[in-house]
């Protein structure tokens, strides 16, 4: 299981992470980011990719 944190002070809701890890991140109907705080280990590569492409560098995978 991996734990995910998004710094919502930094997040600007660009949704780049949604494209990389759609099972973990989504934009809601108001275009705001929602995410699951934990994900299966099989999502690690996707979440890492999401972390990399976040323009605000707001996503952290908690060890």
Partner 1 sequence: MIVGAAMGGLRTAESLRRFGFTGGITLVGAESHLPYNRPPLSKDFLAKGKSLADIAFPIRHEELQAEFILADPARSLDIDGSTLGLESGAKHNFDYLVAATGLRPKRFSFPNDLNQGRHVLRTYDDARSLRGAVAPERRVVIFGAGFIGLELAATLRTLGCTINIVAIEEIPLAGILGDTFGREIRRRHEREGVNFHLGLSIEDLIGTTRIEGVVLSDGTELHCDILIEAVGSIPNVDWLTGNGLDLSNGVLTDQTLRVMNELGTSSDRVFAVGDIARFPYVAQSLPARRVEHWNIPIESAKWVGRQICHQDKPGLIPDLQTGERFNPLPSFWSDQFSISILSYGEPKLANESPLVEGEISDEFIMSYRRDGELVGIAGIGMRRELNKLRGEIRL
13 binds partner 1 (CB under 8 A): yes
In this structure, the chain runs to a length of 63
Q: CB–CB of 6/59 below 8 Å?
A: yes
Q: Which of 19, 36, 37, 38 binds partner 1 (CB under 8 A)?
A: 19
What would the x/- binding string for partner 1 be over residues 22 to 61, using CB under 8 A?
Answer: -----x-x-x--------------------xx-xxx--x-
Q: Which residue stretches of the chain are H helix?
A: 16-20, 44-53
CA atoms within 13 A on the CB side of 2: 18
Q: Site residues (CB under 8 A) for partner 1? A: 12-16, 18-19, 27, 29, 31, 52-53, 55-57, 60
């Amino acid at each position: 299981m991996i734990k995910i944190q998004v710094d919502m002070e930094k997040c600007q809701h660009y949704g780049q992470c949604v494209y990389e890890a759609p099972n973990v991140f989504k934009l809601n109907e108001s275009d705001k980011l929602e995410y699951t705080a934990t994900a299966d280990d099989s999502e690690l590569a996707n979440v890492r990719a999401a972390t990399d492409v976040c323009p605000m560098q707001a996503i952290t995978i908690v060890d």
